[in-house]
Amino acid sequence: MRLTDFSINALPLPDHNSVMYYDDLVPGFGVRLSCGGSKTYILTHGPRRQRDTLGKVGIISLREARLEAKRRLAEYTLGKERPTTTDWDSAVEEYLKEVALLRRDRTHKSYEYALKKHFKYGVTKLSALMPQDLRKNLNRLADRPAEQQHAYVALRAFIRWAYRQHYIERNPMDRMRQPHPYKARERVLTNEEIKKVWSACGDDTFGRIVKLLILTGQRVGEITSLTAAMIGDDTITIPAALAKNGHKHIIPLGPLAKELLIRDDADKGRRFLVSSSGDKRFNNYGKCKDQLDARCGVSGWRLHDLRRTFASGMASIGVALPVTERLLNHISGSFGGIVGVYQRYDFMPEMRDAITRWEAHINLFVH
């Protein structure tokens, strides 16, 4: 049959698996329909009937797909070498293994997070990805400029590597504009604002999370992912797999934080109030945060600003910078370079003292 936009739209979907419809104009060129409704342009060629994916219907036009099929057939006929085809997931794993050997652990963790979190293309062939696909995923991060910038850098490095490996013959990011540079936030809540936020927090999961962020200075994802196994009698242990920098982190708990995390109930026994298993991670931030803002009357702040507020508050009560950095699980700054290699003291006594002083400071204006 001769494929047209109309005939492609009218093709019936298979009851299971997928079915191919081939074009009369270009040998081997056709469209594959899956039972789930996906329609993809394909090219079957060569004695082994190798199949190339050209792109999704709707993402590229029929005319573009047919021209690409003709171009590839011409190259195959002339014997030009084609890049080795591989799928997205396989290429990412290969790339990350190379990064782990050649780059810093922090860079490897950052690239791994960005590529697997924001670009989930699965078994899609690299050669089938279009600039529009990559741009669409990056645009989803427009409201998070810092994360968008990190994702762009990781993606660009991976695509350049794939080009050097001959997995793609054109770099789909060549004409892609870099996201606008973001300005680091400087928002620090005042004592009066902390009081308003604290007072407006309910005794529900979100309210306890916000209070724990104020008291511990940890990252939002770390607090919301806490499980019973991570909570001790007077410490929290954040495993390396959960920590942003890949280093296990142990921080002391003060009385206020312990009360938020652990309660002994005469009937129910010991209860952990954030989560009891990793699959119960809280993720209803937006609605709860808007409601909290309306109740407390404090505007222009984000949950991550509480981490900066914690660090600034520690300085205001005279806590030494290395102790604050230990509490925040920073491995740069005071512990960067050669210091990070040889300095193995855990600062636990100093951290306990700092947390005690910080909770006393918070108690002055929230109770």
- The proportion of the chain whose per-residue pLDDT surpasses 90, expressed as a percent, equals 49
Work out the mean pLDDT of the chain and round it to a whole number: 85
Give the mean model confidence (pLDDT) for residues 254-262: 89
Q: What pLDDT is stored for residue 272 in this prediction?
A: 54
Tell which wins on pLDDT, 195 or 79: 195
Closest Cα partner for 38 from 101, 106, 124, 115?
A: 124
Average of per-residue pLDDT across 133-153:
89
Q: What pLDDT score does 181 carry?
A: 67
Supply the pLDDT for residue 338. Answer: 43
Task: With residue 91 as reference, give the H or E element that holds it.
Answer: helix 88-102
Average pLDDT over residues 264-291: 60
pLDDT reported for residue 333: 52
Higher pLDDT, 213 or 175: 213
Q: State CA 358 to chain mean position distance.
A: 31
Mean pLDDT value across residues 203-224: 91
Contacts of 64 (CB under 8 A, 6+ apart): 55
Mean pLDDT of 344-348: 76
- CB atoms inside a 10 Å sphere around CB 59: 16
- Level-2 CATH architecture, domain 191-366: Orthogonal Bundle (1.10)
**What number does CATH give the domain 5-78?**
3.30.160.390
Please indicate whether residue 1 or residue 327 has the higher confidence score (pLDDT): 327
Structure tokens, 136: 């669409």
Please, is 200 exposed, middle or buried when counting C-beta atoms within 10 Å of its C-beta (0-12, 13-18, 19+)?
middle
Confidence grade of residue 347 (pLDDT, cut at 50, 70, 90): confident
Per-residue pLDDT at 213:
96
Q: Decide if pLDDT at 30 tops 80.
A: yes
pLDDT in tens, 75-126: 777 665 455 568 999 999 999 999 988 887 778 888 999 999 999 998 888 8
Q: How is the chain split into domains, by residue range?
A: 5-78, 88-164, 191-366
* 8 A C-beta contact, residue 141 and residue 135: no
pLDDT of residue 23: 93
Give the per-residue pLDDT at 367.
72
* 3-state SS class at 52: strand
Answer yes or no: is pLDDT of 173 > 60.
yes
pTM of the model: 0.55
What is the rounded average pLDDT of the residues 321-325?
92
Q: pLDDT for 227-249, tens place per residue? A: 888 998 899 999 887 887 777 89
The predicted pLDDT at position 199 comes to 94
pLDDT band at 352; cut points 50, 70, 90: very high
Looking at residue 271, its pLDDT comes to 52
**Quick one: pLDDT at residue 91?**
94
Give 5's DSSP letter: H
pLDDT of residue 287: 86
